[in-house]
Amino acid sequence: MRTICLKIAVTAASLLCASAANAALVLSTHATSNAHCSAGVCSASAANAILAVEDVQRLLKLGDVTIKSDRGTQDIEIVDVLRWAGPHRLTLDAYHSIVFRAPVIVEGPGAVTLRTNHGGANGRHRFSANGKLNFWDEAGDLIVNGNSYRLVKSLHKLAKKIAENPGGHYALAGDIDASSHVPYARAIVRTTLAGSFDGLGHTISNLTFQTIKGRGATLLQNLNINATFANLNFINAVANATDLDHGGEGIAIGESYGTISGVTAQVNITATSAYDETIGAIVGLNGGHMQDCAATGTITTPDSVNTFVGGLAGQGGFIDNSHASVSVQSADYGGGLLGEGDAAITGSYATGDVSGRYAGGLIGVLGGDASVQGSFATGNVSASKYAGGLVGETHFARNKITDSYSTGSVTGGAQATAVGSFAGAENATVTNVYATGAVSGPGGAAIGGVVGQDTGGTSTANYWDLDTTGIGDPHKGAGNIVDDPGIAGLTDAQLKSGLPAGFDSAIWGQSASINNGYPYLLANPPPQ
C-alpha cells in the first residue's frame, strides 16, 4: 500500500477535543494532527494526536488499516462516526483501552479487530451512551483480543447459538426492538453461558416478561464463572412475575458468577408472591463482579418473603463504579444498589427511594466479608425493622465501611427496632463517614444521628448533621449508647465550612457548588 503522511496544524477546536480525550489517539472530524499513517498503519507522532475519520475512511477503501496507540497516547477514542462499505479490516490496537463515543459502522463485508492492553494494564473496550460497533452483515468478522466472535441480530439466534456452543463468544450486531415479540414466559437464553457475550454498545428495547411460577424473567438465565457479559443497554424493559421461588431475577441475567461490565437497564419490575428470591434491575444474584453498570426505574415486590431486592442487583458480590436510580419497594430486604452485599462495593452510589423490612439507601444488609468504600446514597429510606441512610444493617464485625456518606431521610415504621441517618444497626468497622438525612421512628426504637443501634462496631471519624437530621442532642450519635466513641455531631455550618477531622483531602473535596456544599468524594462526585 502507498504511504500517506498526515501532519496538519492543530486548530483550537482539535486541541480542545484532544485535551478532553486525556492523552488519547482520537478519531474525529477534526483535521489530522500529531499522527501519521504508513503502509496501512496509523499511530501518534506526538501527544494529543488526532486522526480525521475522513482520512481513515479513505484508507479503508484501499486496504486494511491498523490504528495503534502507545504509552504516550494510551487509549484510542472514537468521537465521531466512522463507516466504510468495503471488504477491508479495521484493527484498533490500544496500549490501554478503546473507547467508543460515536458509532463505528461496518456497512458491508468488512471486519474489525479490537486489541486492548497492548503494553498497558486493566484496559478494555468501552462504549459511551452514543457509542456502538454496528455490523450490517451478520456474517461479518469480529475478533476481540484473539477471540473470534459470532455476530447475531436476534434474541432467537442468540439463544440457539449459545445452546449449540455454551463456551463460545457472541456479539450483538445491531439494536433490537422487541416490541413485536410476545411476552416471554421464561428466560430467553436458558443455557449457561461459559464464554462471553458483548452487546457492542447496542440496545434491546421494549423487552417484556410475563412469568408465572418458577424462574424466568431474564435474558440470560446463568453466567458461569470466568464468563463475561458486557456493553449492552436495555430500554423500557418490563417484567411481571408471580410465584417466583428459589432463584435470581434480573433483566439481563438471573444468576451471574462471572463478570458483568458496561450494562445499563431501564426497568419496571413487579414480583408478587416471591419466596427466597434475589431480584435486581440488571442481575438477581451477583456471585461474581460488576463494573461500570447503571440502572433506572422501579422494582416492586409487595409480598416477598426472604427475598433480597436491589436497584442494581438483588444479592451478591463485587460492585465497582456503578450506580442506580431505582425506586425499590420490598416487603423484605431492600437496597438502592444492592439488597444484600457479601463482598466489596467501591466507587458506587444510589439515588432511588427504598422501602422494606431491612432497608438502606445503598445496601439493605451487609453480610459475609462485605465492605463499602468511596460510595454514597441520596434516596429516602423507610423500613419496618432496620432503616439506615446508607445501610440497613451490618451483620459482622469484619464488615467495613470507609469514606462514604448518605443524605436521604430515614423513617422507621411503627414496629421499627433501629433507625439511623447512616446505618440502622451496626456491628462493623466504620471510618470517615457522615450523614445529613432527617431521622424519625417510633418511641421504642433506637434512633441515632449516625447509627440507630450500635451492636459492637468500631467507629472512627463518623459525623452527623445536628441541624438537618433532627438529632440535635450531641450525645446521640448512636441511639442505644450515650457518647458513642468515634461519633460526633457537627452543625450544618461546620460540615460545610471544611473537611471534618480525619477526612483525607486526597479522597474528599468540598465546594459550595458541589453536593450542596457538603464534603464529596473526589473519585465519585455526585451527579450534577
The number of beta carbons lying within 10 Å of the beta carbon of residue 161 is: 17
pLDDT for residue 298 is more than 80: yes
In which band, very low, low, confident or very high, does the pLDDT at 22 lie, cut at 50, 70 and 90?
Answer: low
In the prediction, which pLDDT does 2 show?
Answer: 31
Confidence of residue 244 (pLDDT cuts 50, 70, 90): confident
Q: What is the pLDDT of residues 200-227, one digit of tens each?
A: 999 999 999 998 876 678 999 999 999 9
In whole numbers, what is the pLDDT of the chain averaged over residues?
93
Average pLDDT over residues 82-107: 97
pLDDT of residue 246: 72
- Tell me how long the chain is: 528
DSSP string covering 110-168, please?
A: -EEEEE--SSSSS--EEE-TT-EEEESSTT-EEEETTEEEEEESSHHHHHHHHHH-TTS
Q: What is the pTM of this model?
A: 0.94
Judged against a pLDDT cut of 70, whether residue 3 lies above it is answered with no
pLDDT of residue 213: 76
Most confident of 8-17, 22-31, 262-271: 262-271
pLDDT score for 339: 97
| Per-residue DSSP letter, 485 | T
Q: Among candidates 358, 461, 484, which has minimal Cα distance to 405? A: 461
The pLDDT of residue 397 is 87
Share of the chain above pLDDT 70, in %: 95
14 pLDDT exceeds 70?
A: no
Q: How far apart are CA 342 and CA 400, in angstroms?
A: 11
pLDDT in tens, 467-513: 999 999 999 999 999 999 999 999 999 999 999 999 999 999 999 99
140-173 tens-digit pLDDT: 999 999 999 999 999 999 999 999 999 999 999 9
Average pLDDT over residues 19-38: 84
Percent of the chain exceeding pLDDT 90 equals 86
User: Nearest Cα to 199, choosing from 146, 235, 239?
Assistant: 235
How far apart are the C-alpha atoms of 8 and 23, rounded to whole Å?
18
Residue 10 has pLDDT above 60, yes or no: no
Asked if 394 contacts 425 with a C-beta cutoff of 8 angstroms, the reply is yes
Given a cut of 80, is residue 9 above it in pLDDT?
A: no
How many CB atoms within 10 Å of residue 302?
A: 12
Asked whether 44 and 72 are in contact (CB, 8 A), the reply is yes
| Amino acid 217: pLDDT | 81
* Cα-only R_g, the chain: 25
Look at 64-73, 210-219, 368-377 and tell me which has the smallest mean pLDDT: 210-219
**What tens digit of pLDDT does each residue of 412-429 get?**
999 999 999 999 999 999
Identify whether the C-beta of residue 28 lies closer than 8 Å to the C-beta of residue 52. Answer: yes
